[in-house]
Structure 1
Amino acid sequence: MVVSAAPSRFAADRAWSARAAAPLRWTAGPGARPGPAEVDALRRGLLRRDEVAAALVRAVREDRTVSMREVHAALAAGGAGPDAPAPLRDFFAAVAQRPDWVDDDLLARGAEACRTFGHDAGLVLTHGSLLGGYRTAAALEPLARTGRLTGEETLRRIGETTAWWRAVTAPAGLEPGAEGHRLALHVRVMHGFVNHHLEQDPTWEWDLRGVPINQYDQASTLGVFSTSFLLHLRLLGVRVPRRDAAAVMHLWSYVGWLMGVDEEWLPRTERRGRRLLYHFLSHDPPPDENSRTLAAALIDMVDLAPYGPLRRRWERERALSVSTWLLGPAAMRDLGLPVRAPWYGVWRVAANLGWTQVVGRLPGGRLRLLVRADRHHRRQERAWHGEAAPGIGAIPA
């Protein structure tokens, strides 16, 4: 289906979006308000898909020139052989044309920086990036239609996201054929199949939502793993040196490129990322029932933890406290969650004054942070998933 007008979700409630985006405006620097050309680009972004992945999906679903078995084999191998069907070779040829701006040293530094953040990275990704992303209804309908909203599905989805994040931030994880590189392409193709399925669904509300998985929402999601991630780490008192911040933005810009985000939407720098996030949120729709369902499920996830009732109660209060600290009371109310005193956020600031602000500056301090972070991750993974490490979401058959 071809839609030419901006979907009605765009700037649907200007009063709400202005309030929600106000804190970001102060971080985005002078002249942050989008100009007419930038607003037009935002509108067009809602109507654009990842065409490289879409071409491969059409070859599978419509032309029948590529089989799912061939797709799975190529993704597992990290590439298509010379005898593979042309659409499959075209897809891997496109992702092999790495942009000239990609710098391997910056990728390595950005990945290492992400790994040093340890426990705080997990807090930020869960209660800042994911929960904060639920505050707007912008990108939630495709997820809602998969039915993966509550209970065990929430825990599985968090585990999959963590596995992907760990892979792309592993040493040399984004080299062709490495696990992070393969998983980034796996998720890209999976999104392509989901998007194709929803585009064929007669109940999809094009005039309201635009393309199901569109460039606007993909770029906004990239922002919560990069720009928002760094902002929230600093709120927890984590020391993020300027060179590390630049490298983290470089890393996630390349991850975004691998996953099908158009170059014009890649943040590249923290200033650019803040400006983009401000533009997105100031035109996003307010929360809906999907927002509140997903938010409640994320907090209720602690009920699935292998802990006793007192520990579960503590984990729930901790989650609500750090969420209030990172997102603010207004966001918690938008999500239908109770506001709590931000005691855990204050505790993390105090802890990080010792660890990242002092130990991290000492000779050998970065290595100590890396070892400590890896130990924490392995402990958390065993507690939540046992010996069965979480995998990644399957591509729809």
Structure 2
Amino acid sequence: MATYYPELAARVLRQAQDLPELYGDFDFAATPERFTTDPAVTSALPPRRGDRRGYLDDRRLVELMRTALYLGDVPADRVAALSARHSVTDLVTLIRRVCREGAENVPGAPAELAALLEVMSDKPDWIDHDLIERGAARSRLITGLVAPFVTRGAFIATFTNSYAALPMTLTGALSGRRAAHRVNETNAFFAVTTLPGALERFGPGFEAAVMVRVMHSMVRYNALGRPAPGKERRRAWDASVYGLPIPQLDQLPAGMIGPYLVSLGALRLGRAFTDDERAMIEFYRYRCFLLGLPEELLPSDPAGIVDMFHARGATLREDFDDSCRALVTSTMDAYLRPTDRLFDRMADAVEKTYSKAAFCAAFCDFNPRAASRMGVDIGVRDAARIAATGPFIGGRLVAVALAGRVPRLREASGRYLTGRVRHRLEVYGVPEYTTDHREYAH
């Protein structure tokens, strides 16, 4: 029974009535294997990150984790269900057109798509919208100058747990040559949303958020709605083990990793967010709202953000299997550059080195042997690349950041960063935002 989050719990249960063909026979009262509050069971929260017992004793947070674990995305799920009568390519083309022209201007635009756009256009009052553009400008500093070197390492955070990684394993989206496409597609989303005005209703970031949201729902729809081969009456997805495919809870790490790192720094210094940090937090929260995350998962203070991350890890059963290792390896090995020229090969090697270092720091306590066991090998050549390029990468970051604080240089600094983000988008290519159930590894 919901004690602390009755409205969110009611929303979860209402999914069965709102979309019975997908959720009608889903048991929202069951506790899947992935969710655990047993202190004797190893969780995904490393001891160095926090006191797991303290989080397990927090009934409010535990209830939120358990509830959000079953929260899907009915408005986007309804759009994904259109793939039953439209080809994925045609549906993607239609969605893009409606995003750019408006549902009222596209003859035959599905009511389901119009409803999704209406939900996303309704700006919530729990976000300070006056800060979003300022927060986007601050985010362009990291997106343009730092993210290209570490995003791959942070991108695979989900793949370090077999329960959360299963949707990617199922779709095969990060195996073989498809890995580079999916990584660049994700990078493009985070980059385009930081451009000036990108998250406005007809901005490119808003459209990208619609596409990502629907793509997640397509994976969910195909996992829950399509039977396993030769088993017409049985779901391909084992909800008793994994819960709901891509629940809103599992979008938290990628969506709020920036605010989490900023929050850790603020807490270490014993202070609240600065004005610039506050703006950046609101930008991230609004972007997550566009992806379907509820207010309950998007706190605005440092302690609340850190607690949200740690509580998720504290209740997620630890497991790293061969599928996780394959996802990590294929993602790290993927070639992301647009050509095979010498410069692109050198840039790819440098980017991989920094991604390895980011992974080793984030998940292995700077232990190369631990990273190797998880599929990431970092060695002497990587150390040499960091030594050779670090002064330029770090120096450029500091110089541009300082220029942004000087009134006479602020405008030029902003133009430079916007140009760097646009350049990154050219490298990443045009995202397709598709998923094909026929290629799923059941």
- 1:81-92 pair list within 5 angstroms: 81=104, 84-92=109-117
Query: Hey, what does 1:253 align to over in structure 2?
Result: 285
What secondary structure does 2:377 align onto? Answer: coil
Contact 2:149 2:352 (8 Å CA) reproduced: no
Contact 1:287 1:334 (8 Å CA) reproduced: no
Query: Hey, what does 1:321 align to over in structure 2?
Result: 357
- Structure 1 residue corresponding to 2:73, chosen from 42, 50, 65: 50
Name the count of aligned residue pairs. 381
Shift of residue 208, structure 1, vs aligned partner: 0.6
Structure 2 vs 1, CA of residues 307 and 275 (structure 1 numbering), >3 Å: closer, same or farther?
A: farther
- 1:1-397 pair list within 5 angstroms: 1-3=25-27, 4-11=29-36, 20-25=45-50, 35-58=58-81, 60=82, 72-78=93-99, 79-81=102-104, 84-117=109-142, 118-127=144-153, 129-200=154-225, 201=227, 202-224=235-257, 226-228=258-260, 230=262, 242-284=274-316, 285-302=318-335, 306=340, 308=342, 316-327=352-363, 328-329=365-366, 332-333=371-372, 335-340=374-379, 343=383, 344=386, 347=390, 351=395, 354-355=398-399, 358-367=402-411, 369-374=413-418, 376-377=420-421, 389-394=429-434
Shift of residue 250, structure 1, vs aligned partner: 1.0
Structure 2 vs 1, CA of residues 311 and 47 (structure 1 numbering), >3 Å: closer, same or farther?
A: closer
Shift of residue 217, structure 1, vs aligned partner: 1.0
Shift of residue 276, structure 1, vs aligned partner: 0.7
Structure 2 vs 1, CA of residues 45 and 362 (structure 1 numbering), >3 Å: closer, same or farther?
A: same
Contact 2:132 2:283 (8 Å CA) reproduced: yes
> For structure 1, which segment, 173-182 or 86-95, has the greater mean C-alpha deviation from structure 2 after superposition?
86-95
Structure 2 vs 1, CA of residues 88 and 297 (structure 1 numbering), >3 Å: closer, same or farther?
A: closer
> For structure 1, which segment, 366-375 or 197-206, has the greater mean C-alpha deviation from structure 2 after superposition?
366-375
The code of the aligned residue for 1:324 comes to C
The code of the aligned residue for 1:282 comes to A
Separation in 2 of the partners of 1:154 and 1:366? 38
Contact 2:56 2:314 (8 Å CA) reproduced: no
Contact 1:223 1:267 (8 Å CA) reproduced: no
Contact 1:6 1:44 (8 Å CA) reproduced: no
Structure 2 vs 1, CA of residues 271 and 67 (structure 1 numbering), >3 Å: closer, same or farther?
A: same
Structure 2 vs 1, CA of residues 19 and 57 (structure 1 numbering), >3 Å: closer, same or farther?
A: closer
Shift of residue 142, structure 1, vs aligned partner: 1.1
Task: Give the structure-2-normalised TM-score.
Answer: 0.72
Separation in 2 of the partners of 1:91 and 1:381? 26
Separation in 1 of the partners of 2:372 and 2:401? 33
Separation in 2 of the partners of 1:20 and 1:67? 38
Contact 2:256 2:285 (8 Å CA) reproduced: no
The code of the aligned residue for 1:306 comes to D
Structure 2 vs 1, CA of residues 138 and 232 (structure 1 numbering), >3 Å: closer, same or farther?
A: farther
Query: Hey, what does 1:238 align to over in structure 2?
Result: none
Contact 2:169 2:323 (8 Å CA) reproduced: yes
Structure 2 vs 1, CA of residues 352 and 215 (structure 1 numbering), >3 Å: closer, same or farther?
A: same
Separation in 1 of the partners of 2:218 and 2:248? 15
Separation in 1 of the partners of 2:128 and 2:94? 29
Separation in 2 of the partners of 1:352 and 1:34? 45
Separation in 1 of the partners of 2:396 and 2:283? 24
The code of the aligned residue for 1:177 comes to F
Task: Give the structure-1-normalised TM-score.
Answer: 0.80
Structure 1 vs Structure 2: percent identity of aligned residues? 22
RMSD: 3.9
What secondary structure does 1:295 align onto? Answer: helix
Structure 2 vs 1, CA of residues 366 and 277 (structure 1 numbering), >3 Å: closer, same or farther?
A: farther
Structure 2 vs 1, CA of residues 138 and 106 (structure 1 numbering), >3 Å: closer, same or farther?
A: farther
Separation in 1 of the partners of 2:349 and 2:83? 47
Shift of residue 281, structure 1, vs aligned partner: 1.7
Shift of residue 329, structure 1, vs aligned partner: 3.3
Contact 2:45 2:310 (8 Å CA) reproduced: no
Shift of residue 34, structure 1, vs aligned partner: 5.7
Structure 1 unaligned blocks of 5 or more = 235-240
Structure 2 vs 1, CA of residues 32 and 124 (structure 1 numbering), >3 Å: closer, same or farther?
A: farther
Contact 2:328 2:376 (8 Å CA) reproduced: yes
